[in-house]
Amino acid sequence: MIQFDRFSLANGLRVLVHEDHSTPMAVVNVLYDVGAKDESESKTGFAHLFEHLMFGGSVNVPSYDDPLQLAGGENNAFTTNDLTNYYCQLPAQNIETAFWLESDRMLSLAFSKKSLEVQRKVVCEEFKEHYINKPYGDVWFKMRELAYKVHPYKWQTIGKELSHIENAKIEDVKNFFFKHYRPSNAILVVAGDVTTAQVKELTEKWFGDIPAGEKYERNLPQEPKQTEPRRLEVKANVPLDAFYKCWHVGSRLDSTYYAMDLITEILGGGGSSRLYQALVKEKKLFSNIDCYHFGSTDAGLLAIEGKLVKGVKLEDAEKAVEEELTKIKNEKVSESELEKVKNKTESAIAFEDMSVMNRASSIAMYELLGDAQLMNTELSKYQQVTVAEIQKLSNEIFDENNSNTLYYYAN
Amino acid sequence: MANRTIAPKIIDPVEFDLHLKPYEKKTLDNGIEVYAIDAGAEEVLQIEWVFFAGNWYEQQNMIAATTNFLLKNGTASKSAFQISEHFEYYGAYLNRGCYNETSTITLHCLNKHIEELLPVVQELITDATFPEDELKLYKQNNKQRLSVNLKKCDFVANRHIDEYLFGIDHPYGKYSSAEAYDAVESDQLKAFYDQFYRHGKCILFVAGKIPANLFTQLNKYFGSLPLNNKTLPEIAHPIVQSSNIGSPIRLSNDPDGVQGAVRMARPFPNRHHPDFLNVQVLNTLFGGFFGSRLMNNIREDKGYTYGIHSYLQNHIHSSAWMITTEAGKDVCDATVKEVYKEMKKLREKPVDDEELLLVKNFMMGSILGDLDGPFHIIGRWKNIILNNLDESYFYNSIGAIKSITPAEIQALANKYLQPKDFYELVVV
């Protein structure tokens, strides 16, 4: 059970405090309710580029990093299709430094041209390092475009193409900031060796005078139900053929989320999972195979991917995957197999909760979903999943008309 | 109203009095040492069995790594699938890792399941069988994985730079190949297993919220095994450095590559050398954290790369000082030039007090944060113990951070940051 207190400021900033006096550290986590899904299709990759610019100096403080490091702190940030999260950890005595830095960059950035110029290049190198200069690095650009026709999940967080980042203008940066980086669009979580009273006082002092701004109302086109299979083939300079297939699944708050998560564990989690045992160990068709889902806020994707053993045909590999899916659709999983994946989930949650930094970011993410208290009911929701639900949901998800298949051929 | 132009007052972390929580040490009936850190709020445990069974002790490439990997792929009474299923059923993670001097089996689990798990870990240490079909599959899949990795410039660069530093026959310098995988025979694995696991030398590291009967349990399952009876063979591995030190090496790996992997490295002594702790401070200033000289110049000013780092390699016998980055193909040479420029600046001009204080405070805050939680604390102890050091190493490292002066940093830069002593490699 993770305990926390909650209050909000007049400007709309939501604040949650998680006291843990066993650590000498404090964590300040600021989550902004903006991700790649809020970009326009002609300016993709912007939410992530913007994350970099948040370290380029704010209106009253020329450097974010230097004063934090001087106070003994460390920080980082990440952007997803759904959200942007900034977190720092520092000795609890110096926590006011984090309030000063985070509040000033929420008040306003410096909008430095030099920072934009440099970070455009840095992000282009990040793009190259992870998506161009890596074998199979382009797969999810293609798969997302295949699976999503309408919803902005059709592009990756890094963006559709380098040119979108290269063309970013300082005007775009300003507009984005005042549209999305307002207190009413943010969740502040403070955790560690702090008290709620202290956090209240510091939050009022540093965040209280930031103008509320205009509330951003998100209105995204939802993906219509897919009604026929989609297939794509590519050839690239890679050593092995690879198989990718994905299916649409419900949103993060859908009641089927827990059964769906467990299905991916049954099929692809670890050395005793079904796909690994049948297709890598017994039939020796794949040299590796994984099954996972994206955990996205809006309706997401469940994916199976693997590299083929040399000489195996993609058609045969796909057939063998389908046989495993037929099995989970036609036959109930055993109670003990379901128990196994529930136990794995229980222990994964316990290990995740060990770090105060993880607890702080979980609180923020669950609050974004609607209520931080949700994190304390997760385990019981997993425990309620039945073998009948696993079977029913498998039949809904693994419908060929709901599928997107990519054959990735080695040149 | 807050005055935003003035930084809030801080307590300089360099003034902190840091303590490393002492371990509790016990010895099993057969002499296995158990180091334990009892801390944390969650009912979880991490148990690590460290064997002196790294590639230092193998007589043929890949024997140590393959033996370690296949430990959980079959015992006298269980198949690979049954072993995986057993650990996974109890929500436990059983990992193994092969390093240079040591190899490990690591168990993470909820306390309530420990008694179901320890007997099977015992079985892995006494009864692993290394089935032929598991070995065959391992070879095939690893060769395939290697073929993918060999397309990546960073992977290729890492192999070459280690080879330059230590020589292709040295445990720190050798690397995998399809031929090396092909040459592995199951009899070799069984012999290595018998000598270095079943009758090997083992140390245990335990951390978490430790149940009262854990030691009794460990003694029951591991205290009567024939471990720690024989002395380890003394094996000397001479370092054979490549002669191309101090001159640029450029390799082409992928004609379509858009980035190059830059590796610059010099040999460096191990943790027992008197300069080691002070050089850790110089390294942090140079390229060891986000606010370092290299990061500020090459990422934050020039935008040549997503990240650039320097560090001392984590080796027991002999280390190396390494600078790594992936930079745009067209700016690799410019990146190398800037690295040398930063070395020169450190040699010629003492760091000013303000910047040094920032580095010191950052390092102290980082250690304080890293001492949080049982797994981190045992990790520090493991490092100290396996390197034949004692707790004074921790307190000396804090002392070095607190007391090092700009003049000492400059002297170290002059001693160690000389371009002629560095291998300089770019792989595109």
* Residue A262 three-state SS: helix
- Judged by CB atoms closer than 8 Å, whether chains meet at A71 and B13 is answered as yes
Phi, psi of B81 (to 5 degrees): -60, -45
| Look-up of token digits 């606010």 | B291
- Judged by CB atoms closer than 8 Å, whether chains meet at B302 and A118 is answered as yes
pLDDT at residue A183 greater than cutoff 80 = yes
A288 to chain B, minimum CA–CA distance in Å? 8
B353 to chain A, minimum CA–CA distance in Å? 12
Q: What does the DSSP assignment read for A279-316?
A: IIIIS--EEEEEEEE---SSS-EEEEEEEEPTT--HHH
- Residue A62's nearest CA partner among A12, A105, A15, A125 is A105
Q: Residue A282: exposed, middle, or buried by beta-carbon count in 10 A (0-12, 13-18, 19+)?
A: exposed
Identify which of A99, A100, A346 has the shortest CB distance to residue B91. Answer: A346
Q: What is the mean pLDDT of residues B28-45?
A: 95
pLDDT value at residue A269: 81
Among chain B residues, the shortest Cα distance to A310 is held by B144
Q: How confident is the model at residue A381 (pLDDT cuts 50, 70, 90)?
A: very high
Q: How confident is the model at residue B2 (pLDDT cuts 50, 70, 90)?
A: confident
Mutate to test the interface with B, among A2, A27, A68, A69 (most CBs of B within 10 A): A69
Distances (CA, A) of A26 to B169, B275, B378: 47, 33, 22
CB distance from A12 to chain B under 8 Å? no
In A230-249, the residues whose Cβ lies within 8 Å of chain B are: 237-240
In A86-115, the residues whose Cβ lies within 8 Å of chain B are: 89-91, 93-94, 96-97, 99-100, 103-104, 107
CB distance from A166 to chain B under 8 Å? no
pLDDT one-digit tens code per residue, A130-166: 999 899 999 999 999 999 999 999 999 999 999 999 9
CB distance from A348 to chain B under 8 Å? yes
- Judged by CB atoms closer than 8 Å, whether chains meet at A93 and B10 is answered as yes
Could you give the percent of chain B with pLDDT greater than 90? 97
Q: Which residues of B touch A124 (CB under 8 A)?
A: 328
Q: What is the mean pLDDT of residues B161-188?
A: 98
Tokens of B243: 């002669």
Q: What does the DSSP assignment read for B413-427?
A: HHHH--GGGSEEEEE
Q: What is the mean pLDDT of residues A97-109?
A: 97
Q: Which residues of B touch A93 (CB under 8 A)?
A: 10-11
A257 to chain B, minimum CA–CA distance in Å? 20
Alpha carbon A102 to its chain's center: 22
CB distance from B274 to chain A under 8 Å? no
Q: What is the mean pLDDT of residues A253-268?
A: 98
Task: Compute the distance between CA of residue B299 and CA of residue A125 in angstroms, rounded to an integer.
Answer: 10
B253 to chain A, minimum CA–CA distance in Å? 12
CB distance from A142 to chain B under 8 Å? no
Average pLDDT over all residues of chain A? 96
pLDDT value at residue A1: 87
pLDDT at residue B78 greater than cutoff 90 = yes
pLDDT at residue B1 greater than cutoff 80 = no
pLDDT one-digit tens code per residue, B305-363: 999 999 999 999 999 999 999 999 999 999 999 999 999 999 999 999 999 999 999 99
Q: What is the mean pLDDT of residues B177-184?
A: 98
Longest Cα separation, chain B = 76
Identify which of B44, B80, B141 has the shortest CB distance to residue A271. Answer: B80
pLDDT value at residue B296: 96
Distances (CA, A) of B118 to B71, B214, B334: 15, 10, 55
CB distance from A53 to chain B under 8 Å? no
- Judged by CB atoms closer than 8 Å, whether chains meet at A61 and B4 is answered as yes
The least confident of A305-309, B50-54, B100-104, B227-231 is B227-231
Strand ranges in B67-154 using DSSP code E only, listed in sequence order: 93-98, 103-110
pLDDT value at residue A237: 93
pLDDT one-digit tens code per residue, B241-293: 999 999 999 999 999 999 999 999 999 999 999 999 999 999 999 999 999 99
Mutate to test the interface with B, among A205, A305, A338, A354 (most CBs of B within 10 A): A354
Q: How confident is the model at residue A407 (pLDDT cuts 50, 70, 90)?
A: very high
B224 to chain A, minimum CA–CA distance in Å? 30
- Judged by CB atoms closer than 8 Å, whether chains meet at A346 and B110 is answered as yes
Q: How confident is the model at residue B41 (pLDDT cuts 50, 70, 90)?
A: confident
Q: How confident is the model at residue A215 (pLDDT cuts 50, 70, 90)?
A: confident
Q: What is the mean pLDDT of residues B174-178?
A: 97
pLDDT one-digit tens code per residue, B408-418: 999 999 999 99
CB distance from A60 to chain B under 8 Å? yes
Task: Compute the distance between CA of residue B71 and CA of residue B82 in angstroms, rounded to an integer.
Answer: 13
Q: Which residues of B touch A132 (CB under 8 A)?
A: 258-259
* Residue A112 three-state SS: coil
Cβ partners under 8 Å of residue B215, min gap 6: B26, B34, B36
ipTM of the complex: 0.94
Q: What is the mean pLDDT of residues B5-29?
A: 96
Q: Which residues of A touch B37 (CB under 8 A)?
A: none
CB distance from B155 to chain A under 8 Å? no
Alpha carbon A295 to its chain's center: 7
Task: Compute the distance between CA of residue A267 and CA of residue A245 in angstroms, rounded to an integer.
Answer: 14
Among chain B residues, the shortest Cα distance to A119 is held by B303
- Judged by CB atoms closer than 8 Å, whether chains meet at B148 and A135 is answered as yes
Q: How confident is the model at residue A214 (pLDDT cuts 50, 70, 90)?
A: confident
Q: Is the pTM of this model over 0.90?
A: yes
pLDDT value at residue A14: 98
Average pLDDT over all residues of chain B? 97
- Judged by CB atoms closer than 8 Å, whether chains meet at A69 and B291 is answered as yes
Residue A70: CB atoms within 10 Å? 25
Tokens of B332: 């690799």
For B68: left if phi > 0, alpha if psi spans -120 to 50, otherwise beta; the answer is alpha
In B378-407, the residues whose Cβ lies within 8 Å of chain A are: none
Among chain A residues, the shortest Cα distance to B91 is held by A344
**Amino acid found at B226:** P
Among chain A residues, the shortest Cα distance to B354 is held by A70
Tokens of A380: 């019981």
